């Protein structure tokens, strides 16, 4: 991937980019000089994120898009292509969580979590990867979770989605590495965001969204002859 001086040539998509980890990643890539496009579930969320980015000197494109819908993902990526050009960085960050015992989950809850966290990453990658293949380069980054390597009570749907994301990413990495596309997955521990209240934990000891954004920057700065397939990111002290 490029040195700092050439990030102006990069076009990055961040799904779930309106707040928390996604917004921090969009801001970091924008500060590096990349042209950034983000999507979220509502127009109001997109507008708020774009306002925050522009106030920070980052110019970005955004639109509402449901990552569980193939047509919505296609429409979003096509708008990015028409407005900015070919996508060279994709960050699959969109995610939700429903936390309750496996036998108490409703089918709708299971479908919503798996469709957003796993199917959404596949749909976005399926549309963007051919663009990168045509260009002969690109970087796809999946934002997973340490729940994709560890299990816990109440985490059945969420853990299943993140374990599945790890499998998807590994297969994609093998299929695309020979075409100049690097596929990486970040597995953060507890991050202080609106995603989960993390009752009883000290937010000052948690990872911050900017910590995940820092890893994204590290990944896209890798020299062309190598790539980092997985990164486990943990707080220095247990919250």
Active-site positions?
158
User: Can you point out the beta strands (E) in 28-180?
Assistant: 35-40, 60-64, 89-92, 138-143
Residue written as token pair 């296609």: 74
Judge residue 136's burial from the number of C-beta atoms within 10 Å of its C-beta, 0-12 exposed, 13-18 middle, 19 or more buried. Answer: exposed
Sign, CA dihedral 180-181-186-191, equals positive
Report the 10 Å Cβ neighbour count for 47.
14
> Nearest-5° angle of CA 77, CA 188, CA 239?
140
CB 181 within 8 A of CB 137: yes
Tokens describing residue 236: 């220095």
């Amino acid at each position: 991937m490029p040195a700092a001086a050439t990030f102006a040539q990069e076009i990055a998509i961040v799904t779930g980019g309106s707040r928390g980890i996604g917004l921090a990643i969009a801001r970091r890539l924008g500060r590096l000089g990349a042209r950034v496009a983000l999507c979220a579930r509502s127009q109001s969320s997109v507008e708020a994120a774009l306002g925050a980015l522009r106030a920070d000197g980052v110019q970005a494109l955004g639109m509402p898009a449901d990552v569980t819908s193939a047509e919505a993902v296609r429409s979003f990526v096509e708008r990015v292509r028409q407005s900015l050009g070919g996508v060279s960085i994709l960050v699959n960050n969109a995610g939700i969580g429903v936390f309750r015992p496996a036998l108490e989950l409703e089918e709708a809850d299971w479908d919503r979590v798996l469709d957003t966290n796993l199917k959404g990453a596949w749909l976005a990658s399926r549309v963007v990867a051919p663009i990168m293949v045509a260009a002969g380069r690109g970087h796809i980054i999946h934002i997973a979770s340490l729940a994709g390597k560890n299990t816990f009570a109440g985490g059945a749907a969420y853990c299943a989605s993140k374990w599945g994301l790890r499998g998807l990413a590994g297969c994609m990495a093998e299929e695309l590495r020979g075409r100049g596309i690097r596929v990486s997955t970040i597995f953060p521990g507890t991050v202080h965001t609106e995603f989960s209240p993390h009752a009883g934990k000290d937010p000052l000891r948690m990872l911050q969204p900017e910590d995940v954004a820092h890893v994204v920057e590290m990944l896209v700065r890798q020299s062309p002859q190598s790539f980092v397939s997985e990164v486990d990111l943990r707080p220095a002290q247990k919250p």
